[in-house]
Each structure stands twice: as structure tokens, then as C-alpha cells.
Amino acid sequence: MTDRVLALLDGTLLDPAAPFLRADDYGVLRGDGIFETTLVVDGAPRDLDEHLLRLAISARMTDLELPGADRWRTGITAAIGAWTGGRDMVLRLIATRGPEGANRPTCFVMGGPVAPRIAQDRAEGVRVLTLERGFSGTEAAALPWLLAGAKTLSYAVNMAAQRHAAANGADDVVFVGSDGHVLEAPTATVVIAQGRHLVTPPLQGILAGITVERLWPAARAAGFTTETAPLTVQDLHAADGVWLLSSVRLIAPVVRIDGADRPAGAVTAELAAALDVPPAR
């Protein structure tokens, strides 16, 4: 059973346990790089076109010149072909700025197992803390060097927020802007339901989530209405359902906000079906 695979963009497979990155790679030295993560189910990567497009957008935002989508597909095909670790695989596409002075990005494709925590989050829900992000979405959107809408490797702040949550008896975080508006979770998009009306915050200072993009038309086909509109923490508490959406976890109901228990949301199963969530295994 292979529980890690590593491929280059020409399809070469490397030993995932062997040293690979140079110690002076800017991805290591500064977290300077970009990435994408998606779920592969039975050999098929979900929303691959969308992830390759967002990788290209992040590359543009960070002035990284990357090989084209076809090269990435070659690496992805090799990684998926080598995977024997089960029906579901987490696929990561990674591009760093490369070794110091080389002016050549380091690009690779990695496959690995889905963390056991994911199934638990989907089934039992997550307890979140709301934490201030320190700026508003509109402020961040006006300051492109903050790279708020790019998916960069600089996730140390996001991981610190999740550790803060864990140290305080929660599972995850919802970031709130300095204007009181809900932004996103460290690795997920926030969606709420008011009856059969679904709302997600506007794309200002946050990542454009692919999972919510996929949910919107599917939910409308299932009889929901959808909207992108500013949300406050009070809106979260008052909602009939709150969820965190992302490409691997897909959809996890929020069952506690800042210590206040809340119902998981009666429509969770309907939304999971709209998102084609694979069965627990």
C-alpha cells in the first residue's frame, strides 16, 4: 500500500520519503510559493480544471512563471497512477519560487491519505472560535501585496489560528474582519443557511473557494436560493445552518460557535448530496 506519492511535472516518480527540496529553496526559507489541494476519488481528481486555473491566478498574483496546465496534468496522472493507498487521495500541486538565485520555480505533485479527522468533521461537525483577522476584507482587497486572494504557501498564520482554537477547546476558526464582517476559515469557505437561502461572504480579502462555486448551482438545482453578501457573527448565531466548505473536507457543519452550541443544520445531508460527497470509508 502506497500512502505517499511524489511526481515531477514530466511524470517522473520520486521516492516520497527521500530528501527532495534544496535547503535554500525559497519555499522553505520564506514560505514563498503557491499550492492547490483537491480530493481524488477513484482516480478522478475533483474540479481539476478549476484548481489548475486558480493555480495560474495565484502564480500571476505572485509573479511566478509556471509550466502550463498540460505539464501539471502529466505529473498528476503519474501521481494518481502510482497511488495504491485506497479510493480517496489528497492531491497537492506545489510550486515554490525555487532555490536562492536560481530563478526557477520548484514544481511537484504529491498524493497522500485523507486525514481521519476529515470524516469526523463531516459526520460530527466542528466547533469554531471567531477570531479577528486584523483587517477588513475591503482593506485587504485594496492592498494586493497582502495576497489575500492567492493560495500561497504562507499558511503559518492560518495554522497558528487553528492551534489557538485547539488550545481553547475548539476545532477550527472563522476569521472576522476589523469591520465585523465574517471572512473565511483558515482552510475553508463559510456558508450559512437562512431557511433554504444560502449565503457566503463576498470575495474581498478571501480566497475564491472552488467548493462553494460548485455547491451554488447544485444547490439551486435542489431548490435553494444562493447569495453572496456580507455576514456578521450575529448572522452565524442566528442562521439555521453554518458550514465550512473546502476541497478535501467538502462540507462540515459548525456545531458550536464561541462556546455556544448550535444545531448542525437540517439540510446538511442535502448539501452533501449536492456536492457529491463520497461515502465514509
Give the footprint of ligand PLP on this chain (CB under 6 A).
37, 184, 186-189, 207, 209-211, 245-247
Q: Which is nearer to ligand PLP, 8 or 188 (CB)?
A: 188
Nearest approach, Cβ of residue 50 and ligand PLP (Å): 8
Nearest approach, Cβ of residue 147 and ligand PLP (Å): 11
Q: Which is nearer to ligand PLP, 128 or 188 (CB)?
A: 188
C-alpha cell, 255: 456545531
Q: Which is nearer to ligand PLP, 99 or 246 (CB)?
A: 246
Nearest approach, Cβ of residue 196 and ligand PLP (Å): 22
Nearest approach, Cβ of residue 186 and ligand PLP (Å): 6
Nearest approach, Cβ of residue 15 and ligand PLP (Å): 27
Q: Which is nearer to ligand PLP, 52 or 207 (CB)?
A: 207
Q: Which is nearer to ligand PLP, 252 or 267 (CB)?
A: 252
